Chain A
């Protein structure tokens, strides 16, 4: 019987259809492996023994090492927002709403998304490269022959660390961003501090905070999931690791934006 994975065996007119079928099967099986990888990682989170030391190490790896870049980018994002929104609002004489506009933009949207993208570039790419190098230098094989499960050791702690650190990093990004907006709006452009923070209390409510929180948690799952998967499935040699790292960053960034739109339209 002909197989769609060998289109050259098909009669010439049917070969494009066979090739399309083969590609489709490849994509479906890759998605299956991707899902199975996640299910296994989640399984090892709930089935003991737990690798607490590894979890602390991954929290440090993803969270602490990303702190400086999150503070820096958060501050400038808030300052840009403060400047641009102030200039726009001043055309309508509504500068008083600068505080809530900056806060809502950051808390609901820009905070979780930008923070996740920056952490992907910094810690996500490092996760892929680290696991990829472990794979090509047989360190993952070494774990296996020591009867240690690499998923339990390398992936599950990264997933838990992502869920813990992303909301915290996002909160820091939001706070620093709001202060950046304050610096520009209040200190440089002359808005009163009471107006900046007072209006914020009126317009920002709990559901806005929860929207940002759920987004941050889901990005905290997506980033380590994709980045560790790409590391585990990297090709041979330095080129294979380099390609896997690029793919991890690009795919994660796209998934963050797609998932952000989905959550933005579903959450209140």
Chain B
């Protein structure tokens, strides 16, 4: 279980997270929605230990990770897989080398076994026979799928997805969402996904959390969030342009 309590983070004089609380249960798909620039990726970076909060805590199965450094933090990260917004593929390596990289660096598996695992993961994400390509030679959707394969190749317990479908066409968005659902069903990892693909995201989430003004304003099963009386949630789901009066926030 991941427990976020009272998370505060500012960049200069700009507060981004203002006492955020969120619990993510083991094995669930938690989707964090919210407006662009609202701090979703900042929250994700705190969960994976790339940012340290000004105040508050992030605990993974009871281990407070905001205080960990070096080897101790790495031991927690070894349970993670992360799919970055832009893929973050190493452009000096081929697709197969990218997927093999975490296995080569962090495990003692032999070459043949690594090759087998890479082949299997590329097949699972629908990229059979693409291992020899360079990341620059493949499309945006393929890059996202390679990134998912790389994140899952070590069979992590917790997988973080930072806007895995941003910039893709509707068919590819559905393809990626179904891929994530299939892989989740198969490997039962805990998934934390940042997205603003409304309404598609409601189909794959176990629970949805709405981040607004640096705090979670609504959290619950997709149907409950969809039916929320909170005007901010409704405005976001419907994509209304007019702003919510200050008195009706939260």
Give A residues with C-beta under 8 Å from B: 133-134, 137-139, 141-142, 144-148
Give B residues with C-beta under 8 Å from A: 45, 48-50, 74-75, 77-78, 80, 82, 84-86, 88-91, 101-102, 105-106
Complex interface: chain B residues within 8 A of A134 (CB): 90
- A147 CB contact (under 8 Å) in B74, B85, B89, B91: B74
Bound complex: CA A145 to CA B83 (Å)? 10
Bound complex: CA A64 to CA B48 (Å)? 38
Bound complex: CA A145 to CA B151 (Å)? 10
Please give me the residue from chain A that is nearest to B73 by CB atom.
Answer: A147
Contact indicator A142/B106 (Cβ below 8 Å): no
Complex interface: chain B residues within 8 A of A145 (CB): 48-50, 77, 80, 82
Contact indicator A144/B50 (Cβ below 8 Å): yes
Known A139-B88, A139-B90, A141-B88: A147·B77 in contact at CB below 8 Å = yes
Bound complex: CA A134 to CA B88 (Å)? 8
Contact indicator B74/A138 (Cβ below 8 Å): no
Contact indicator B106/A138 (Cβ below 8 Å): no
Please give me the residue from chain B that is nearest to A49 by CB atom.
Answer: B105
Complex interface: chain A residues within 8 A of B102 (CB): 146
Bound complex: CA A148 to CA B86 (Å)? 19
Q: Report how many A-B pairs have Cβ atoms within 8 Å.
A: 42
24 A-B pairs with CB atoms under 8 Å apart are A134-B90, A137-B91, A138-B85, A138-B86, A138-B88, A139-B88, A139-B90, A139-B91, A141-B84, A141-B88, A142-B82, A142-B88, A142-B90, A144-B50, A145-B48, A145-B50, A145-B77, A145-B82, A146-B101, A147-B74, A147-B75, A147-B77, A148-B105, A148-B106
Bound complex: CA A138 to CA B88 (Å)? 5
Bound complex: CA A144 to CA B106 (Å)? 12
Q: What's the dominant secondary structure at chain A's contact region?
A: helix
Complex interface: chain A residues within 8 A of B50 (CB): 141, 144-145
Bound complex: CA A146 to CA B88 (Å)? 12
Bound complex: CA A141 to CA B51 (Å)? 10
Contact indicator B106/A146 (Cβ below 8 Å): yes
Complex interface: chain A residues within 8 A of B74 (CB): 147
Please give me the residue from chain B that is nearest to A140 by CB atom.
Answer: B88
Bound complex: CA A138 to CA B75 (Å)? 21
Nearest Cβ on chain A to B214's Cβ, whole angstroms: 22
Complex interface: chain A residues within 8 A of B82 (CB): 142, 145
Complex interface: chain B residues within 8 A of A138 (CB): 84-86, 88
Complex interface: chain A residues within 8 A of B91 (CB): 133, 137, 139
Contact indicator A142/B84 (Cβ below 8 Å): yes
Bound complex: CA A139 to CA B89 (Å)? 7
Nearest Cβ on chain A to B97's Cβ, whole angstroms: 12
- B106 CB contact (under 8 Å) in A133, A139, A141, A147: A147
Contact indicator B101/A137 (Cβ below 8 Å): no
Contact indicator B88/A147 (Cβ below 8 Å): no
Nearest Cβ on chain B to A49's Cβ, whole angstroms: 9
Rank and list the top 4 A-B pairs by shortest CB-CB distance, nearest first: A147-B74, A138-B88, A142-B88, A147-B77
Complex interface: chain B residues within 8 A of A147 (CB): 74-75, 77-78, 106
Complex interface: chain A residues within 8 A of B45 (CB): 141
Complex interface: chain B residues within 8 A of A133 (CB): 91
Which of A134, A139, A144, A147: most chain B Cβ within 10 A?
A147
Bound complex: CA A137 to CA B48 (Å)? 17
Complex interface: chain A residues within 8 A of B101 (CB): 146
Contact indicator B78/A137 (Cβ below 8 Å): no
Give me 17 other A-B pairs in contact (C-beta within 8 A), A141-B50, A145-B50 excluded.
A134-B90, A138-B84, A138-B85, A139-B88, A139-B91, A141-B84, A141-B88, A144-B49, A145-B48, A145-B80, A145-B82, A146-B102, A146-B105, A147-B74, A147-B106, A148-B105, A148-B106
Please give me the residue from chain A that is nearest to B71 by CB atom.
Answer: A147
Bound complex: CA A163 to CA B50 (Å)? 32
Please give me the residue from chain A that is nearest to B160 by CB atom.
Answer: A145
Please give me the residue from chain B that is nearest to A61 by CB atom.
Answer: B92
Complex interface: chain A residues within 8 A of B49 (CB): 144-145
Bound complex: CA A139 to CA B90 (Å)? 6
